[in-house]
Amino acid sequence: MVITSSNNEKVKYWGRLKLKKYRDQENLFLIEDEHLLKEALKKNLVKEIITTNNELTYDLPIYYVNDKIMSLLSSQVTSAKIIGVCEKIKERAYQDRLIILDNIQDPGNLGTIMRSAVAFNFDTIVLSNDSVDMYNPKVIRSSEGMLFNINVIRTDIKSFLNNLDSSYLKITTDVKGGEDIRKINSDKLALVIGNEGSGVSKEVASLCDKLVYLKMTQECESLNAAVAASILMYEVYHG
């Protein structure tokens, strides 16, 4: 049976998962496209599958919908052909390499930082409560599936920094100066990255041990937040 009505209760339920509020309430999110769904399946996170391809079968509850319903559920201009309803990923204990994001708003930046964090062996992203939701479809897409390979903890980052063991060197960036990132050396490290427009908030910066900077020409005031985060993680990884 193919679902064709936007008044169908299931369709309304899935549709609500496009909003953070309902994702939080239901502890679920939607994942679009086959290559990302595959990653979610590997992690046993998929509860239900929604597809326009009525020849598909999975060892999971599967719902067939028409193109109209799919375009309601998909976040893309050219709709996905398959969507998985997934359980949110469980937060794990953090280890030695943390990146802390203070009010990151751009979904592309968060997804890109996830990707770079996996590439450069950071184990955990600590996401401030006021940052963009990691289950935003654009975040998922720009993470290229790496959201399944990185631990993300969403929390009050001020309390987090206050309670973080002193064996962690807490660093953040400053455009005006600071220590060259290449001179930083610590087994345990927490790198704090600020908001795209306003940078790291003063209160958060005051909880850090050191300011670091990336040498650049004077013509450019600052780098894109995901680029700055990635270069710093790259430098920490390369030691």
Interacting residues toward a second copy by CB under 8 A? 108, 112, 115-116, 118-121, 142, 144, 146, 149, 214-217, 219-224, 226-227, 230-231, 234, 237-238
Rank residues 30 and 150 by Cβ distance to a second copy and give the closer one: 150
Q: Which residues pair with 63 in a beta bridge?
A: 50
**Identity of the residue, 40 or 118, whose beta carbon is nearer to a second copy in the bound complex:** 118
Helix (H, G, I), strand (E, B) or coil at 34: helix
Closest distance of CB 111 from a second copy, Å: 8
Min. distance of Cβ 106 from a second copy in angstroms? 8
Nearer of residues 65 and 226 to a second copy, judged by Cβ: 226
Nearest approach, Cβ of 146 to a second copy (angstroms)? Answer: 6
Nearer Cβ to a second copy, position 22 or 213? Answer: 213
- Supply the minimum distance, in Å, between the C-beta of residue 33 and a second copy: 12
- Closer CB to a second copy, 169 or 214, in the complex: 214
Paired with 82 in beta bridges are: 51
Q: Which residues pair with 180 in a beta bridge?
A: 213
Q: How far is the CB of 219 from a second copy (least distance, A)?
A: 5
Gap between the Cα atoms of 213 and 219, Å rounded: 16
Distance CA 145, CA 111 (A): 9
Calculate the dihedral angle through the C-alpha atoms of 89, 112, 193, 184, rounding to the nearest 10 degrees.
100
**CA distance between the termini of the chain:** 57
- The CA distances from residue 119 to 72, 123, 144, 235, 237, in Å, are 34, 10, 12, 12, 9
